[in-house]
Structure 1
Amino acid sequence: MTELKRAVATPAGPRVRSIRVVVLALMITMLLAMLDNLIVGTAMPTIVGDLGGMEHLSWVVTAYTLATAASTPIWGKLGDLYGRKGIFLTSIVIFLIGSVLSGMAQDMSQLIGFRAVQGLGAGGLMVGVMAILGDLVPPRERGKYQGMMAGVMAVAMIGGPLVGGAITDHLGWRWSFYINLPLGAVALAMVTVVLHLPRKERSKAKVDYLGAALLTVGITAIVLVTTWGGTEYAWGSTVIMELIALGAASLVGFLFVETKAAEPIMPLHIFRNLNFSLMSVIGFMVGFVMFGAVLFLPLYQQSVQGESATNSGLLLLPMLLSMMIVSLVAGRITTSTGKYKIFPIVGSILMVTGLFLLATMDTGTTRFTSGVYMAVLGAGMGFLMQITMLVAQNSVELKDMGVASSATTLFRTLGSSFGVAIMGALFTGRVQDEMAAHGGGGATQESAQLSATSLAKLPDTVREAYEYAVASGTHIAFLVGGSVAVVALIAALFVKEVPLRGAAKPEASSDGGGAAPAPAGAKKQTV
């Protein structure tokens, strides 16, 4: 046990350099997962022009999202059972195979199927990165590295559309998938050579197949409801109601099975820890807010402020830069002080404030003013993005690091699905109502997606009505987002300041949100 504690202590010398190389490999892998959807999204018009199948366009994204969300908890559990390194390498290989096949697709049906394969691998990438970081670096030191991961996310969001546009214009849309291969090869080589983790004895427990199946069905139903509701089908339609019933029944069955399984796919005991449950709630809210903002802010800037859609990633620069800088600073402070409770509170306050400020935007709001509002929101998310994962991982035993990472990632993913669906439905409904009320008759759902170029061709009265409608839709979307985000603030107030493992007093614990001790009997051997 003494050797284990030494191994978890602050790394030094050659081990620091080794960890930095591994972290570089993990950052490249995360970049793979983050860039893919952003690059492919830019290439979609060209893909449809080449392959046809416009009616199936949404499934190119939906198949990837579904596979990612459904596989996330399974990847986490497999890593806990059979060893992190092999499972992580497997997910990278599956992702690269899906990328190659997607680039070779000859019709839209093939592309959708291959995107599902890609999404299956992507589910393991995100979980693997966070779980491996949790295995290698004690929570006291982890903040600065997770801040770097947030930086990778910001870079991907800014650069993804730019890179996607350049690749599509100069190399063709198939290279938007093939570009993953060199990055993936580098990540594979680096992880294989330099990643050394404590050896795990192969678990003799049977995989919880029934629990995995029920959870997969439940997650799939939830994602389909949030994806199709109000777009493909009316919210009150039979299909949506059946999906809601199927999802609810599956999740209830999953909870029952998990109480009986010898090795549950998502052990329910981790939710008995107060801090872990609170971080799951906050993570859900961060996903809800962030992806709603990423969707509606460029739309507002293009439609109301007349920005070009060409550099769409740059439109979010104030928010993403603020998020990246604050996340890095918060990580450094956490590492140096071991304190973190203040960050979820301050982050939630800034997130709520930023959303309510964004809700005040109208047709006369300047770009500078909207940029300041975005920076406030970005700062709030920067305080929350990686702290949620850090505290969640610190709240469970090392043997549950994978399921803790996957659960936190899953809640953020589900939050993003709900955020886009709810804010999107409110936005579209308000735009249609305002267009009808202010002389823009005949407005349809597509009228909420006009580009600046299309707007310039409209008669002045119709264009002004549309600009007012979009500003009004943005107002209601962010107003609801801010109201929902208050839940994150309430949850943050109840977070307990539990000493991070690797801090000066790692043996300290608490009655409700305490960090679990390192499991006895862990072997410091490498694989």
Structure 2
Amino acid sequence: MNHRQVLQALSGLLLGMFVSILAGTVVSTSLPLIISELKGDQSAYTWVVTATLLATTVSTPLWGKFADLFNRKLLIQLALGLFVLGSAAAGFAQNTDWLIVFRVFQGLGGGGLAALSQIIMADIISPRERGRYAGLFGGVMAVGTVGGPLLGGLITDAFGWRWNFFVALPVAIVAIIMLQATLHLPKRAKRKVTIDYAGAVLIAGGVSLFLIWMSMAGKQFEWMSLETLIMVTGAIVLLVAAVIVELKATEPIIPLSMFRNRTFTLAVIASISVGVSMFGTAVFLAQYMQLARGATPTQSGLLTIPMMAGLLIASAVFGAIISKRGRWKAIMVTGGALSVVGTALLSTLHYDTPFVLVAIYMFVLGAGLGMLMQNLVLVVQNSIEVRNLGVATSAVTFFRSLGGTVGVSVLGSILGTVVADGIKDGIADLAPEQQAVAAQALGSGTIPQVNQLPEAIRVVVESAYGTGVGQVFFYSVPLAIITLIAVAFLPNARLGTMNAVQRHGASENTEAESEFAVAEDALIDASTASVALPPVGTSHPDGRRSDDESTDGGRSR
């Protein structure tokens, strides 16, 4: 495919990605207001985010396996439809439970979009050339991520938060039509398909139970409790059973043999901690801007632009450099280092940190993530066997989502504890009459609308959230260091120049040639055995000499 054909094939895919990003980010800046109006608390806020991440995490390896078995074009259209329908249904939520349920449907579709977009991109673009198009994907990501919160803030301020969930519907319909018209993938050879239902159920059950425990422990029950014992034991049993099933399955959901590939294993480790940075930053910076700085949803979206600008610029610039030079290791190590520095800087946040410094800190972290996220998938696709391309790609996305889900749950629990203690200590320093007002305004435990609080109480809440978000990033620093170490030890392999379709054809030709050679050798051996001649000088049963001896004077043929 030439450049124009690639762009044409990518158009529907890029629009589909934009819809999924927009439908997620358009809600982010208004979530504090949504939870407040639906009478939810910090636990409900965390669950609204975690539900989507949980469903995305559990479904991603399933979508990846389906991509190796079924029509990838149809799968991404189904994922897109499921995602947007879940988003639209969430717009009618009357309480946080309703909202959480339909956020699960968003997550199921989002898992497919996250995995399939990367897999299809590998089908049509070689690893070496992929950096050339990284700017397009980075641009779509940046526009959706930056424009989503801005659009969400404007919609919330003008029409109400429910319209945030409906805005992506018309764009999604266009995306599905464009995917049908522009994305043309070669037909896959028909073969007998065996779906590992047992592995799918055990993996989904074990991961879900573990993540639900992470979300509820410390809030609905104590960390050291009977509920913890039951849920953790159940998750371990299910995951151990999943490993046993995957080792024996004909078509495992996650082939464990991939972990023998050093690049894949290290990329998985790095992806877990990158997920914490990526998802945690989006969730907790929105809370910081609105609850620690008193920003409106629209202002919150504007204030997070430096983060997305860093991600976009780094992704586009360094993606082009990788395509031009074919070298990626130094860029990824630098990205890991910037992630450590950016996370450490954000750990110093307080409610009165100058916005210029906050912007610089966000830009540094965004640049680091921009140099890492796409390239982690790239190096795995470059090194893995083409027959496992779908499951390998989805596995990296799976562990990134897993890290994000666990990270948001644990860090959300830390934030809730720090905020509660900060508010309690701050109220204790107020005058008695102000304490009574504070107890009435904050006693329910729901997330307050800061701008409606009296001045003295507002300062207490802003200070508590400012300190709490800083603590969240402080506990994220070790994970960023793990990312840097894992990236530093990645094998510095050259990027291939064939896309996945070409690699698949080449591997089929190689296998065919190998089978032909084996068959040819066997045929020669069989022929040799069948025409074995008697030794020179021997007689046939009828007394005649052998043909060799009689026709060429006894010389051996």
Q: What residue is the counterpart of 1:488 in the other structure?
A: 483
Q: How many Å separate the matches in 2 of 1:102 and 1:432?
A: 29
2:140 pairs with 1:142: no
Q: What residue is the counterpart of 1:37 in the other structure?
A: 24
**Unpaired stretches in structure 2, ≥5 consecutive residues:** 430-434, 512-557
Q: How many Å separate the matches in 2 of 1:204 and 1:275?
A: 30
Q: What residue is the counterpart of 1:421 in the other structure?
A: 409
Which residue type is aligned with residue 144 of structure 2? A
**What is the 5 A alignment of 1:357-506?**
357-440=345-428, 449-454=447-452, 457-459=454-456, 464-502=459-497
Which residue type is aligned with residue 305 of structure 2? L
What secondary structure is seen at the aligned counterpart in 2 of 1:128? helix
**What is the 5 A alignment of 1:96-135?**
96-99=84-87, 101-102=89-90, 113-135=101-123
Q: What residue is the counterpart of 1:27 in the other structure?
A: 14
After superposition, the Cα gap between the structure-2 partners of 1:424 and 1:22, relative to the gap in structure 1 and judged at 3 Å, is: same
Which residue type is aligned with residue 490 of structure 1? I
Deviates more, 1:69-78 or 1:119-128: 119-128
After superposition, the Cα gap between the structure-2 partners of 1:321 and 1:502, relative to the gap in structure 1 and judged at 3 Å, is: same
Is the contact between residue 288 and residue 420 of structure 1 (CA under 8 Å) also seen in structure 2? yes
Q: How many Å separate the matches in 2 of 1:391 and 1:494?
A: 13
Deviates more, 1:91-100 or 1:434-443: 434-443
Q: CA RMSD in A?
A: 3.4
Percent identical: 37
**What is the 5 A alignment of 1:216-231?**
216-231=204-219
Which residue type is aligned with residue 451 of structure 2? T
Is the contact between residue 147 and residue 328 of structure 1 (CA under 8 Å) also seen in structure 2? yes
Deviates more, 1:307-316 or 1:433-442: 433-442
Is the contact between residue 290 and residue 416 of structure 1 (CA under 8 Å) also seen in structure 2? yes
Which residue type is aligned with residue 373 of structure 2? M
What secondary structure is seen at the aligned counterpart in 2 of 1:312? helix
Deviates more, 1:379-388 or 1:443-452: 443-452
Report how far residue 271 of structure 1 moved: 1.7
Q: What residue is the counterpart of 2:265 in the other structure?
A: 277
Report how far residue 185 of structure 1 moved: 1.9
What secondary structure is seen at the aligned counterpart in 2 of 1:519? helix
What secondary structure is seen at the aligned counterpart in 1 of 2:123? helix
**What is the 5 A alignment of 1:4-15?**
11-12=1-2
After superposition, the Cα gap between the structure-2 partners of 1:374 and 1:440, relative to the gap in structure 1 and judged at 3 Å, is: farther
Q: How many Å separate the matches in 1 of 2:25 and 2:162?
A: 14
Q: What residue is the counterpart of 2:180 in the other structure?
A: 192
Is the contact between residue 397 and residue 516 of structure 1 (CA under 8 Å) also seen in structure 2? no
After superposition, the Cα gap between the structure-2 partners of 1:324 and 1:288, relative to the gap in structure 1 and judged at 3 Å, is: same
Q: What residue is the counterpart of 1:76 in the other structure?
A: 64
After superposition, the Cα gap between the structure-2 partners of 1:452 and 1:99, relative to the gap in structure 1 and judged at 3 Å, is: closer
Is the contact between residue 394 and residue 516 of structure 1 (CA under 8 Å) also seen in structure 2? no
Report how far residue 20 of structure 1 moved: 0.7
Report how far residue 419 of structure 1 moved: 1.8
Q: How many Å separate the matches in 2 of 1:480 and 1:22?
A: 42
**What is the 5 A alignment of 1:163-182?**
163-168=151-156, 175-182=163-170
**What is the 5 A alignment of 1:82-93?**
82-93=70-81
Q: How many Å separate the matches in 2 of 1:436 and 1:175?
A: 36
Structure (1 or 2) with the larger CA radius of gyration? 2
After superposition, the Cα gap between the structure-2 partners of 1:225 and 1:201, relative to the gap in structure 1 and judged at 3 Å, is: same
Is the contact between residue 29 and residue 300 of structure 2 (CA under 8 Å) also seen in structure 1? no
Q: How many Å separate the matches in 2 of 1:210 and 1:470?
A: 44
Q: How many Å separate the matches in 1 of 2:275 and 2:247?
A: 28
Q: What residue is the counterpart of 2:203 in the other structure?
A: 215
Q: How many Å separate the matches in 1 of 2:158 and 2:291?
A: 28
Is the contact between residue 147 and residue 386 of structure 1 (CA under 8 Å) also seen in structure 2? no
Q: How many Å separate the matches in 1 of 2:427 and 2:90?
A: 44
Is the contact between residue 258 and residue 265 of structure 1 (CA under 8 Å) also seen in structure 2? yes
Which residue type is aligned with residue 472 of structure 1? T
Q: How many Å separate the matches in 2 of 1:134 and 1:191?
A: 16
Report how far residue 417 of structure 1 moved: 1.3
Q: How many Å separate the matches in 1 of 2:96 and 2:427?
A: 39
Alignment deviations for residues 134-169 of structure 1 (CA, whole Å, 9 cap, x no partner): 111000011232343233233223222332344456
Q: How many Å separate the matches in 2 of 1:161 and 1:218?
A: 34
Is the contact between residue 415 and residue 469 of structure 2 (CA under 8 Å) also seen in structure 1? yes
**Unpaired stretches in structure 1, ≥5 consecutive residues:** 1-10, 508-514
Report how far residue 196 of structure 1 moved: 1.9
Normalising by structure 1, we get a TM-score of 0.84
Q: How many Å separate the matches in 1 of 2:295 and 2:131?
A: 36
After superposition, the Cα gap between the structure-2 partners of 1:367 and 1:103, relative to the gap in structure 1 and judged at 3 Å, is: closer
Deviates more, 1:343-352 or 1:397-406: 397-406
Q: How many Å separate the matches in 2 of 1:353 and 1:408?
A: 24
After superposition, the Cα gap between the structure-2 partners of 1:285 and 1:25, relative to the gap in structure 1 and judged at 3 Å, is: same
What secondary structure is seen at the aligned counterpart in 2 of 1:311? helix
Alignment deviations for residues 458-496 of structure 1 (CA, whole Å, 9 cap, x no partner): 42xx55555544343233222221122111111111011
Which residue type is aligned with residue 26 of structure 1? L
After superposition, the Cα gap between the structure-2 partners of 1:471 and 1:89, relative to the gap in structure 1 and judged at 3 Å, is: closer
Report how far residue 189 of structure 1 moved: 1.7
Alignment length, in residue pairs? 497
Report how far residue 198 of structure 1 moved: 2.8
After superposition, the Cα gap between the structure-2 partners of 1:493 and 1:41, relative to the gap in structure 1 and judged at 3 Å, is: closer
Match of 2:306 among 306, 318, 323: 318
Report how far residue 108 of structure 1 moved: 7.3
Is the contact between residue 69 and residue 123 of structure 1 (CA under 8 Å) also seen in structure 2? yes
After superposition, the Cα gap between the structure-2 partners of 1:305 and 1:163, relative to the gap in structure 1 and judged at 3 Å, is: closer
Is the contact between residue 19 and residue 136 of structure 1 (CA under 8 Å) also seen in structure 2? yes
Is the contact between residue 275 and residue 392 of structure 1 (CA under 8 Å) also seen in structure 2? yes
Is the contact between residue 98 and residue 115 of structure 1 (CA under 8 Å) also seen in structure 2? yes
After superposition, the Cα gap between the structure-2 partners of 1:69 and 1:19, relative to the gap in structure 1 and judged at 3 Å, is: same
What secondary structure is seen at the aligned counterpart in 2 of 1:496? coil
Alignment deviations for residues 359-381 of structure 1 (CA, whole Å, 9 cap, x no partner): 23345531111211111111111
